[in-house]
Amino acid sequence: MNDLNIRKSGRAGRITFARPKALNALSHDMALAIHRALDDWRDDADVELVIIDAEGDRAFCAGGDIAAVYRAGLAGDHALGQRFFADEYRMNAAIADYPKPIVAFMGGFVMGGGVGVGGHASHRIVGDSTLIAMPESGIGLIPDVGGTWLLSRAPGRIGEYLALTGARMGAGDAIHAGFADTYLPESQWPDLIARLEATGDLSLIEGEDAPSAPLRTRDLSAFAQDTVADIVDALEQAGDAQTLKVLAANSPLSMAAGLAMVRAARGDRRMQDSLAREYRFTYRATQNSDFLEGVRAQIIDKDRKPWWMADASPAHVAAILAPLGPHELTLEEPA
């Protein structure tokens, strides 16, 4: 397909995002194609490792291509979004479980769906242009694609902070928070990729000292509070006007659910458990959340003025995260 360049080169299976003008946004078809490629290479003796990178210098993958989900949900078709999220999450799980090394070169924007591809790879390389974020609270969704799992493993209260604010991390913060492993200047990436293709030798991945990690020393104690309202109160007492402004712009339901999900994920044994919980929200998102309004305001009309209306009460958070019965996420291979 034109949006991905999937091929074998030397000892590597290669997947390259190839829609740089769209910031390599991940469509439903792209998610399926990535999963199929991984399945094809699983038992291929010629493929010793998989390398995932992207064309262009602005983005590895800036998120999911959710315009079609928006249009369908607006027309009352909620099944299209449910299929998209289920297939995307199955692909995320396949990356996390893959029996061969996967090396992701994450330059530029790595957000939402991009984190779901690169963030679960076995070897995650970042550079000076890298900006990683889970900004879903700003579009009425929650950190998904296994994002709550990654956030729950971040030190201290970084997970809650990133989930509620959608803040962007540079290379140093991404490594500190557990979203990446190795810093390497991007000028060195082509040579490393060529050598990995030729040899399959992972010992060639030798990073350099990462840039500073501001999150390492930032006081995020406010995000230890029990509820979003309590977090806001603590930030007001601390005089953190900048963070308060960000929270005021995001969906109250998304923040309340995201907070609960990051904390619940700390008890999960596997990333797939977190994915299943995320799917409960996204399965219902086009009907019972602020998702359609958030996409309208931020992506479709781009007026940046969402009118948040969804119920953010504890009862509704519990309801939107309740088990789906026969519709629970399953992680079988794609057809």
* Nearest Cα to Cα of residue 15 among 43, 58, 63, 47: 47
Measured CA angle at 136 (ends 132, 138), to 5 deg: 110
pLDDT (tens, 9 = 90+) of the chain, 335 residues, equals 789 999 999 999 999 999 999 999 999 999 999 999 999 999 999 999 999 999 999 999 999 999 999 999 999 999 999 999 999 999 999 999 999 999 999 999 999 999 999 999 999 999 999 999 999 999 999 999 999 999 999 999 999 999 999 999 999 999 999 999 999 999 999 999 999 999 999 999 999 999 999 999 999 999 999 999 999 999 999 999 999 999 999 999 999 999 999 999 999 999 999 999 999 999 999 999 999 999 999 999 999 999 999 999 999 999 999 999 999 999 865 44
Q: Is 64 an annotated catalytic residue?
A: yes
Whole-model pTM: value is 0.95
Report the C-alpha gap between 7 and 221 in whole angstroms. 47
Domain ranges of the chain: 4-327
Selecting among 10, 13, 64, 119, the annotated active-site residue is 64
Q: Does 144 qualify as catalytic in the annotation?
A: yes
> Which pLDDT belongs to residue 47?
98
User: Residue 332 has what pLDDT?
Assistant: 65
Q: Which two tokens stand for residue 62?
A: 């800036």
Among candidate residues 10, 13, 81, 113, the one labeled active-site is 113
- Strands 109-111 and 131-133 turn out to be parallel
Q: Which one of the listed residues 144, 160, 173, 293 is annotated catalytic?
A: 144
Q: What is the pLDDT of residue 331?
A: 86
Tell me the DSSP string of 94-142.
HHHH-SS-EEEEE-BEEETHHHHHHTTSSEEEE-TT-EEE--GGGGT--
State the pLDDT at residue 334: 45
Of residues 133, 154, 169, 139, the one with CA closest to residue 282:
139
Topology annotation, domain 4-327: 2-enoyl-CoA Hydratase; Chain A, domain 1 (3.90.226)
The residue from 48, 88, 136, 293 that is catalytic is 136
State yes or no: is 40 an active-site residue.
no
